[in-house]
Every structure is written in C-alpha cells, then in structure tokens.
Amino acid sequence: MFNGIIKNTGTVKEIKISKKDCKIVIFSKLKFSKNEIGESVCCSGACLTLSKIYNNKLFFYVSKETLKRTNFRYLKKNSIINIEKSLKFGDKISGHFVQGHVDTTAKIAFIKHVGKSWLIRFNINTKFTKLLITKGSIAINGVSLTISKVLLKSFEISLIPHTLKLTNLFFLKKNDIVNVEFDILLKYINTISK
C-alpha cells in the first residue's frame, strides 16, 4: 500500500522486454537496504517487487499482465520513473490509499499552462468514466491527484509546481500514455452497486 506522495524518481538504466515479461534496472538516489529485497515498490504507479540492489541500481521483474495494463511496454532507456516505498504502520497518509494496481492507461489530449500550474486533459476509455468523480482521488503514474473535471471520454487534472518539480509528470507532453489507478473506494462502491 502507498499514498501517492512522490518525493523521488529514478532513471531506467536497462530494460529487457520479451514476449512473456520484462526486466528493468532503475537508478535512484532513494536508499534501499539489503533487508528491503522482496519488498513492494511503487514504480510510476505499478507495484513491483524489488529483486536486487547494486550500487543504487534497483532490479525489478515485470510480468506480462503488468506490461499489458501499463505504459511499461513503451519504456525506454533513460525514462524517468516515480519511486515510492510501501507504507509502514503509523506512517502519515498525506495523499490517498494507492495499491499500485494499475487499472488502465490514459492518453494526454492537451496540456495548458495556467500561471505556474498545468491543466492536463486525459482521454480514457468510456467504460472507465463511471470510476471518475469531480474532486475525487486518482493516481497518475503513481502520483496522488485530485480530478478537477470529468467529461464523457476524458477527465482533467491541475498540477501545481511542487508536484511537477518532484515527479516525472513534468516531462509529460501531448499524446503521452500514463498509468491510471482509480480510487479503491469508488471501485468497491461501483462493484457493489452492479
């Protein structure tokens, strides 16, 4: 479990994608100990298991299912990844509960600069709009954000300078694909109400 408050990023140093799976190596200044091997780490919204550490390089195995559901299939060397360690009991929850279970991806329709903030519109499959609510929480590339507007086939989010400074969202541009995880409470409510 994570809270979507990203303070660290990493850089993809190696990536090996096959038809069945993927292995990635990420360099990050975020410190991990040998005791944390086997722990869950949120990598741009996807919960991955840390399999090895070597000289600030983090090694992860990515399953075929994760490749199918995330933007990892488009990853390239030197891509920037948001990194968040899993929560410990008693940690402050400052964003919202993020599982690291990416539901789908969305495509950026446009980015509009409003002062020092960014207004971004994301196009999404219409079957997911029932999981969107204005002022509700959503995780984009693992970042806990608030939805500012919901439309028929899209939604909008405003990004403040602080979030842009600390995350890979700063590098987004039109037509980029992002990982999306809907709010867990809304998913449960939607399932119960069917």
Q: Are 113 and 174 part of one and the same domain? A: yes
Q: What is the structure's pLDDT at 194?
A: 63
Expressed in angstroms, the distance from the first to the final Cα of the chain is: 26
Residue 190's pLDDT band (boundaries 50, 70, 90)?
A: confident
Q: Are 130 and 179 part of one and the same domain? A: yes
Question: Whole-prediction pTM value?
Answer: 0.94
Q: Are 112 and 183 part of one and the same domain? A: yes
Q: Choose the final residue of a domain: 57, 85, 113.
A: 85
Q: Choose the final residue of a domain: 40, 56, 85.
A: 85
- Alpha-helical (H) ranges within 18-133 are 64-69
90 domain-assigned: no
140 domain-assigned: yes
pLDDT one-digit tens code per residue, 14-66: 999 887 789 999 999 999 999 999 999 999 999 999 999 999 999 999 999 99
pLDDT one-digit tens code per residue, 75-111: 999 999 999 999 877 777 788 889 999 999 999 999 9
Q: Are 112 and 74 part of one and the same domain? A: no
96 domain-assigned: no
Q: What is the structure's pLDDT at 49?
A: 96
Q: Are 76 and 109 part of one and the same domain? A: no
In sequence order, what are the residues at sequence separation of 6 or more whose Cβ sits closer than 8 angstroms to the Cβ of residue 124?
104, 106, 107, 132, 153, 154, 155, 180
Domain count, the chain: 2
As to burial, measured by CB atoms within 10 angstroms (0-12 exposed, 13-18 middle, 19+ buried), residue 178 is: buried
Q: Choose the final residue of a domain: 17, 50, 85.
A: 85
Q: Are 186 and 110 part of one and the same domain? A: yes
Q: Is 165 helix (H, G, I), strand (E, B) or coil?
A: helix
19 domain-assigned: yes
124 domain-assigned: yes
Q: Are 78 and 114 part of one and the same domain? A: no
Q: Are 133 and 65 part of one and the same domain? A: no
Q: Are 14 and 53 part of one and the same domain? A: yes
Q: Are 80 and 135 part of one and the same domain? A: no
93 domain-assigned: no
- Alpha carbon 56 to its chain centroid, in Å, reads 21
Q: Share the mean pLDDT of the chain.
A: 93
1 domain-assigned: no
Show the domain range for 23: 8-85
Q: Looking at residue 176, which CATH number applies to its domain?
A: 2.40.30.20
Q: Are 108 and 186 part of one and the same domain? A: yes
Q: Are 38 and 117 part of one and the same domain? A: no
